[in-house]
Chain A
């Protein structure tokens, strides 16, 4: 039996992951902002075979709710085997440049909320001596670029935080998986032109996520070719990188 908390459950990628988990008969505890959407998802997973579906309404920036959320999950499911964190926003970079408040809000949503959730989860799962923490970071967190560095910095927080957590929890039997997708066709990218070989569907990425979690992978670039792209990008010397319009 697998009992998962899914934070950002209304995200298109999280939904595609939950569809796969529902077929396996998992128990799902969905966390999101909109009760009626969570209900819609719950019915779907039930039809697809989920053992049970629960929901919890929370804005991730309401940090005080994080502990009650975990408690509710434990109460509903008896035990938590894993937490999968998928919420996120793609900020308007120029708005973040103009407004400190805007930039900090984005860092909260995409970075600090995850620090809070994962700290809680780590302590609980460490006690249990078992479990998985899987979080969607992004290839954008591998290097700062002028077009998107506030989001990139928040994802950078997530990636490095998870790296440390993995190191800490390795000997405690808790698995930490960092997921780094490239371009995915979801509402987050509704304004982009989506033709072209770099774009993946949420289903493709979800298949990769489920596999990475099953296999206990540390870091998963999805699709895999982003590993090659990011390896090159990370190795461009800074004196050149700063001149590029990326």
Chain B
């Protein structure tokens, strides 16, 4: 078993203690600092606390109630999105929004106000949260809804775990005719085609996302596969799930992700499909959670771990800025295994500090190679700042304080509502100048 409290990127490693709650806590520890944690599926340091204690809700995995008539579900904060699907999907209900891993917990999904492939129609996870209970270190319990304790509701959604411990939450699930997905995979040749496909797909496809070959340059810059889909029709037969999953059993001494494997992977992945469009009806697992198929895949980056770089660029600056980002990456030869592009919609996020906003989001994974990686990130940051974009705290291990406060003008409001006993390594870093 991997040590449970390390973030998904395995970078930066932190000296911290862990405490598991097995039953809903009556109160939080008197002595801080600490930080609530879910399944530690965030990449960087926003779910960790150097020198403190993480209060893990990973074992608070109980359902409290589910009404199959209305789709309203109430559960403890550590219930995972996979747990919800296992209960709801056979009864015709589905997650209204899901990130690319079903191991995320409900508490974590709220605290990062996560998004999925349907952001352009459904908004963020927080848009579908009807209420939750927040436990503060002074012993106070607040039931928060879009109306009641509204200020706390908004501060806690996307609030990075800082406003208190979420004990339970209630969500409105979505009815679907069929949990399988009619998917189309379209091979496209460059960035301009990506934006055209996105525009064309927005109205008729509930789910859209693209994988980008980030080693392609020149006329091919931004080429990749555009994936779009809708839930299958009720009459279509159900598609069975894959039975077995694979596991990366240990951390190899060196990263398996290097220039050679990346070049080969990106080339092969782009060319795996001969025809331009490939139609397929898929089980929801491989469509939404292809990476979950290999447990502990993060270990393949070796002992130094890896970082993700995820930004959003406002729509009018999107094409230019993303071209610039991809060029800068390509120039350093610092390829990424997984590069993902998606156009967000304009459904507003309920959280004070939610990351999604209208524009285009680009996410890339990089093995941590010390100064070289951080230097690249600095260059990318320049582009993001200039374009008026923002970086995603859930994926971050490097964001500068000045940048954070520019990306998130509500940071000071959150600081005012933060629980005095709670903090995170991320928060300590990005609020440096103001505290």
Contact = CB atoms under 8 A, between A and B. Distances in A.
Interface of A: 12, 23, 37, 40-41, 43-44, 47-49, 185, 187, 190, 194-197, 199-201
A43 B1 contact: no
Nearest to A183: B1
Contacts of B20: 187, 190
Contact of B87 (A40, A47, A196, A201): A47
A200 B247 CA distance: 14
Interface of B: 1-4, 20, 22-24, 59, 61-66, 86-87, 250
B63 A194 contact: no
Contacts of B250: 197
A86 to B, nearest CB: 14
Given A12-B22, A187-B20, A47 B4 contact: no
A195 B87 CA distance: 31
7 contacts: A43-B62, A44-B63, A44-B64, A47-B65, A194-B4, A197-B1, A197-B250
Contacts, number: 42
A195 B22 contact: no
A201 B249 CA distance: 14
Contacts of B62: 40-41, 43-44
Contacts of B61: 44
A194 B64 contact: no
A44 B168 CA distance: 13
A205 to B, nearest CB: 11
Contacts of B64: 43-44, 47
Contacts of A23: 86
Contacts of A185: 1, 4
Nearest to A34: B23
A111 B229 CA distance: 57
A41 B64 CA distance: 9
Nearest to A42: B62
Contacts of A12: 22, 59
Contacts of A40: 23-24, 62
B180 to A, nearest CB: 20
Given A23-B86, A37-B23, A40-B23, A201 B1 contact: yes
Nearest to B23: A37
Given A41-B62, A43-B63, 13 more contacts: A43-B65, A44-B62, A44-B64, A48-B87, A49-B87, A185-B4, A187-B20, A187-B22, A194-B1, A194-B4, A195-B3, A197-B1, A201-B1
A141 to B, nearest CB: 22
Contacts of B23: 37, 40
Given A187-B22, A197-B250, A47 B2 contact: no
A83 B65 CA distance: 27
B1 A47 contact: no
B87 to A, nearest CB: 6
A152 B9 CA distance: 39
Q: Nearest 5 A-B pairs (CB), nearest first? A: A47-B63, A195-B3, A44-B62, A199-B1, A47-B66
Contacts of A194: 1, 3-4
A43 B3 CA distance: 30
A194 B56 CA distance: 14
B1 A196 contact: yes
A196 B1 CA distance: 6
A197 B299 CA distance: 14
B404 to A, nearest CB: 31
A87 to B, nearest CB: 15
Contacts of A190: 20
Contacts of B4: 185, 194
A149 to B, nearest CB: 26
B63 A195 contact: no
Nearest to A196: B1
B22 to A, nearest CB: 5
B19 to A, nearest CB: 8
A246 B262 CA distance: 47
Nearest to B73: A47
A105 B236 CA distance: 60
B68 to A, nearest CB: 10
A37 B66 CA distance: 19
Nearest to B90: A49
Nearest to B88: A47
A179 B63 CA distance: 28
B2 A195 contact: yes
B402 to A, nearest CB: 36
Nearest to A198: B1
Contacts of B3: 194-195
Nearest to A200: B1
A33 to B, nearest CB: 13
Contacts of A41: 62
